[in-house]
Structure 1
């Protein structure tokens, strides 16, 4: 995976320090309600090991639509026992594990029934406030939404996901400190407002801006009818514990 080995160890340390009584978002696995999970261990690499074993994991996520199948070749879900899913829905929501990203990942398609296939990617940033382990992710407040950018294929025909710089991941709409503090009181509470009393902007510690969601959009036309199809994959990435 793209993250360095020590990141995973650090992430485990942070997990152990988390306060379960905090106002931080408690993540549960999110997938579209129409998903029919297919637990198929043969789709996982033979050297797959859970993060709890402090070893890098290599996992392929497969989404099967009526018109095509899509594989993200290295991505670990919050519930990584399910690696293959079938859905009738046009929008799919996935929650990935801490530290996971689609940046630089490879995506393959089995889309023999489609023409004019195009895959695009964008991202969204959110504000998170940390208090050592506990944190409050302001996922219901303001965000920066990047533009859609088309993904290109490598020589093997796989789509290559985009990478983002630290500057990209910290983009956020202009807000006043007064507006920010008001939003923190509303979405997080007084404890968190007290923590940010000395900040001058949303990127000043203990506040931080980071990528909270990735989006993949696939479009194409059915060869049989010319009907246009649009598939959207929303990937939520934990901003903390």
Structure 2
């Protein structure tokens, strides 16, 4: 009798043992952009009713309305920023030997409509590790940054040919400008040159521009912010 009962029980359990395991459905991965972009407790802070800028470690966070924007290796320029009178134009300095090219921009829109991001650059003549700000420049066209994911944009990288674009000029024009407006040391570095560009008077990207355009869902207000980021050649 025990043998019959054992065989009956075994026959009931056998199909259950042979039934294949059901695959576990994976949950989709979600990125919480607000968690990534919301500014931390401030170490360096500049604020107004329109703009709020806070830096923590190597990252700077910019808030305007319900939107947050973050980028590494930039710091607000207190000499040129006027967040009360000119909240739509923001000046930053880039850390020495750093670039925004290839960086991931994180933008949290909050109550704003979808933000569009544009990027361009400016080249200058570089002498004595300083750009000639009051002379000729090349300004590239605006280019739209395509989101890599929702609210994440990859800053454009530029080729060597793009980095050295410059308006037509002559070595004589450069020498005359530096003689009139530059320091004696700067003029001495270009006075004996026969060509431009050259190792002691080269051309490179001196400034990046990032523009953010959008609108508020609740009002008809437009969001237009221009970030001007100056390159640091001197450390």
TM-score by length of 1: 0.67
Cα drift, residue 137 of structure 1: 2.8
Instruction: Figure out how many residues of one structure are paired with residues of the other and give that number.
Output: 182
- Which residue, 117, 122, 125 being the options, matches 1:124? 122
Q: Is the CA contact 2:124–2:136 (under 8 Å) kept in the aligned structure 1?
A: yes
Contact 1:78 1:97 in 2 (8 A): no
Higher gyration radius (CA): 2
Runs of at least 5 residues in structure 1 that lack an aligned partner in the other structure: 1-30, 45-58, 80-86
Q: Is the 8 A contact 1:77 1:94 kept in 2?
A: yes
Correspondence for 1:70: 69
What is the root-mean-square deviation of aligned Cα atoms in Å?
A: 2.6
Distance 2:178 2:193 in 1: 12
Matched residue SS, 1:195 = helix
Work out the CA distance in 2 between the residues paired with 1:101 and 1:218: 19
Alignment of 1:60-139 (within 5 A): 60-72=59-71, 74-77=72-75, 89-130=87-128, 135-139=129-133
| RCO comparison, higher one (Cα < 8 Å, 6+) | 1
SS of the residue corresponding to residue 240 of structure 1 reads coil
Aligned residue for 1:229?
223
> Displacement of 1:110 after TM fit?
1.2
Query: Residues 118-158 of structure 1, C-alpha deviation per residue, up to 9 Å, x if partnerless?
Result: 1000111111113xxxx443112111111110001113541
Give 1:1-241 correspondences, 5 Å limit. Answer: 38=54, 41=56, 44=57, 59-72=58-71, 74-77=72-75, 89-130=87-128, 135-155=129-149, 157-241=151-235
Q: Distance in 2 between matches of 1:109 and 1:226?
A: 20
Q: Structure 1 residues 110, 213: closer, same or farther in 2, change over 3 A?
A: same
Structure 2 Cα separation of the partners of residues 107 and 173 of structure 1: 30
Query: What TM-score do you get using the length of structure 2 for normalisation?
Result: 0.69
- Quick one: structure 1 residues 235 and 33, their matched pair in 2 at CA, closer, same or farther if it must change by over 3 Å? farther
